């Protein structure tokens, strides 16, 4: 978990005494081309977590910021782990905006890839590499957007705070450390733009919608220990700890959580369902909106695990542990549960319900991890800016909020009162969103250009 002994002080960005004069004459397309090169280099830095080793990535980002004379700093978290911060100051008339991404990536198995996952190779206009979509691509878009503001000397009403953190894919060491050790950075911040969702287009190239996340489900990880008389495997005991654990697990599997449609997901749910033959489904009546009020219809669509995760508190049994010896009946047995709660659900009540379902007086429940989550509002300067910029490009295009079934670092910053949104300035094929932790993860060269332009537009709109 969080590394509280982490060393705090490290390198201040060594400021250049003068700025390269040519930097101010660069055109946007050059910025995009530079961004593509930087992303290729960034993807070559193996930040597979564990162990992460994000220090090299932080130094890489710092070198770029230094060349642009953007004040910056690396925070050494120990064990070759680091966070990186760069700030462009505004005039203070409006509160700041944080552009957040994580430097670590999930593992990649080379044998399933068509190019090496840490090659940054470009094939048919796509930049390949673990992290291309999740989320080094966004990191480079954020950085290049900031560089654009710096080079063009565009006056800022808000601080632009570029933050690259360690360990999002594991224990969020980086974000937790920043919040605990550098709270001052977030004091005057109004918005934070993290990963979460993006614009998607269909097979014909038509934009489906610009999606952004405004909340996440709360992870609640539990271990439940059962107790029973120990003994020899040759004499089975009805109420052994393992038997108790198995019976409890069975009751959990049989339990059906209540299905509900949160107002913030209704629109995205209807969009998901629009392409399916819902009229033929049990519980359908008149139209989709009306059908979503029917429990039978919800039960029907909840057969799809992805949709079910959006409609209820989920419980996944992930670990089972009994004796480590085949002929021994152990004193204890454990099951571990990865529960994800809808925003606003009280964890104590949820755990009471769980205990009642298992109905075993030996059961002891232990919380391994819990992140309370809230939602950011739908009607803010950011959401309006995103909507305006999307519609300036594509008249009438839909801009749709989503709740993420999994968690991101945004949940920690939301607790500070910051309006946090998950929006990556990508416009990608619908099916490519599945590449995030998959094989052949990639992002198009075109997307880097689009992303920088689009984020620049959003920040300009937010500055008004």
Q: Kindly list the residues in this chain that would bind Zn ion in the complex (CB under 5 A).
A: 134-135, 195
From 435, 420, 234, select the one nearest 327 (Cα to Cα).
234
Q: In this structure, are strands 442-444 and 126-128 parallel, antiparallel, or unpaired?
A: antiparallel
Residues present in the chain in total: 464
Cis amide leading into 135 (omega within 30): yes
Q: Is 78 helix (H, G, I), strand (E, B) or coil?
A: strand
Q: Tell me the C-alpha distance between 376 and 374, whole Å.
A: 7
**Of 135 and 310, which CB lies nearer to Zn ion in the complex structure?**
135
CB of 437 to Zn ion, least distance (A): 9
Q: Which is nearer to Zn ion, 193 or 354 (CB)?
A: 193
Q: Which residues pair with 223 in a beta bridge?
A: 336, 366
203 three-class SS: coil
Beta bridge partners of 334: 225, 321
Closer residue to Zn ion (CB): 34 or 104: 104
Q: How far is the CB of 162 from Zn ion (least distance, A)?
A: 16
Please identify, using beta-carbon distances, which residue of 134 and 167 lies nearer to Zn ion: 134
Q: How far is the CB of 166 from Zn ion (least distance, A)?
A: 12
In angstroms, give the least distance from the CB of 371 to Zn ion.
15
Asked whether the beta carbons of 404 and 213 are under 8 A apart, the reply is yes
Tell the smallest beta-carbon distance from residue 282 to Zn ion (Å). 37
Q: How far is the CB of 168 from Zn ion (least distance, A)?
A: 6
Contacts of 428 (CB under 8 A, 6+ apart): 133, 198, 199, 200, 201, 443, 444, 447
395 and 158 in contact (C-beta within 8 Å)?
no
Nearer of residues 135 and 273 to Zn ion, judged by Cβ: 135
- Nearer of residues 226 and 421 to Zn ion, judged by Cβ: 421
SS3 42: helix
| Parallel/antiparallel/unpaired status of strands 419-422 and 189-194 | parallel
Q: How far is the CB of 135 from Zn ion (least distance, A)?
A: 4
Least distance from C-beta 443 to Zn ion, angstroms?
13
* Identity of the residue, 167 or 453, whose beta carbon is nearer to Zn ion in the bound complex: 167
User: Minimal CA–CA distance to 216: which of 126, 306, 309?
Assistant: 309
SS3 69: coil
- Count of C-beta atoms within a 10 Å radius of residue 58: 30
Minimum CB–partner distance for residue 106 and Zn ion (Å): 8
Identity of the residue, 135 or 146, whose beta carbon is nearer to Zn ion in the bound complex:
135
Task: Identify which of residues 332 and 441 has a Cβ nearer to Zn ion in the complex.
Answer: 441
Nearer to Zn ion, 74 or 404 (CB): 404
d(CA 375, CA 361): 36
Give the list of residues 6+ apart from residue 47 with CB closer than 8 angstroms, or none. Answer: 53, 54, 56, 57, 103, 104, 105, 131
Nearest alpha carbon to residue 357 among 438, 258, 235, 435? 258
Closer CB to Zn ion, residue 136 or residue 244? 136
CB of residue 167 to Zn ion, shortest distance in Å: 11
Which of 313, 337, 349, 323 has the alpha carbon at shortest distance from 248?
337
Question: What is residue 50's DSSP assignment?
Answer: T
Shortest spacing between CB 194 and Zn ion, in angstroms: 9
Asked if 199 and 428 count as a contact pair (C-beta separation under 8 A), the reply is yes
Three-class secondary structure of residue 382 per DSSP: helix
């Amino acid at each position: 978990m969080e590394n509280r002994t982490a060393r705090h002080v490290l390198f201040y960005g060594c400021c250049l005494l003068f700025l390269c004069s040519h930097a101010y004459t660069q055109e946007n397309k050059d910025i995009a081309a530079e961004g593509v090169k930087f992303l290729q280099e960034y993807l070559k830095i193996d930040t597979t977590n564990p162990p992460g080793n994000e220090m090299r990535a932080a130094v890489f980002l710092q070198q770029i910021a230094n060349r642009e004379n953007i004040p910056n700093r690396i925070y050494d978290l120990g064990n070759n782990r680091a966070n990186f911060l760069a700030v462009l100051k505004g005039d203070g008339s409006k509160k700041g905006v944080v552009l957040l991404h994580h430097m670590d990536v999930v593992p990649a198995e080379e044998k399933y890839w068509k190019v090496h996952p840490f090659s940054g190779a470009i094939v048919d206009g796509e930049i390949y590499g673990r992290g291309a979509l999740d989320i080094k691509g966004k990191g480079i878009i954020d950085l290049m957007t900031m560089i654009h503001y710096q080079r063009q000397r565009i006056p800022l009403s808000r601080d632009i705070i570029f933050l690259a953190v360690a360990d999002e894919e594991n224990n969020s060491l980086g974000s937790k450390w920043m919040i605990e050790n550098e709270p001052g950075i977030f004091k005057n911040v109004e918005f934070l733009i993290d990963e979460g969702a993006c614009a998607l287009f269909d097979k014909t190239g038509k934009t489906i919608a610009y999606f952004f996340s405004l909340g996440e489900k709360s992870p609640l990880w539990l271990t439940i220990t059962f107790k029973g008389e120990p003994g020899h495997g040759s004499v089975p005991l009805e109420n052994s700890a393992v038997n108790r654990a198995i019976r409890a697990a069975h009751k959990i599997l049989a339990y059906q959580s209540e299905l509900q449609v949160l107002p913030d997901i209704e629109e995205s749910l209807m969009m998901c369902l629009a392409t399916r033959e819902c009229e033929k489904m049990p519980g359908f009546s008149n139209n989709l909106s009306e059908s979503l009020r029917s429990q039978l219809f919800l039960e029907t669509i909840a057969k799809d695990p992805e949709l079910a995760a959006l409609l209820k508190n989920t419980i996944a049994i992930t670990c089972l542990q009994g004796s480590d010896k085949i002929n021994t009946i152990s004193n204890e047995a454990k099951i571990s549960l990865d529960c994800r709660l809808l925003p606003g659900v009280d964890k104590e009540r949820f755990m009471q319900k769980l205990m009642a379902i298992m109905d075993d007086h030996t059961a002891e429940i232990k919380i391994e991890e819990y992140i309370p989550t809230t939602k950011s509002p739908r009607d803010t300067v950011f959401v309006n800016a995103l909507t305006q910029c999307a519609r300036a490009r594509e008249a009438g295009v839909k801009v749709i909020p989503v709740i993420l079934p999994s968690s991101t670092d945004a949940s920690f910053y939301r607790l500070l009162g910051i309006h946090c949104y998950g929006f990556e300035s990508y416009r990608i094929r619908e099916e490519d969103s599945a590449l995030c932790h998959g094989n052949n993860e990639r992002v198009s060269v075109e997307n880097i250009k689009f992303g920088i332009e689009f984020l620049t537009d959003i920040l300009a709109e937010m500055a008004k």
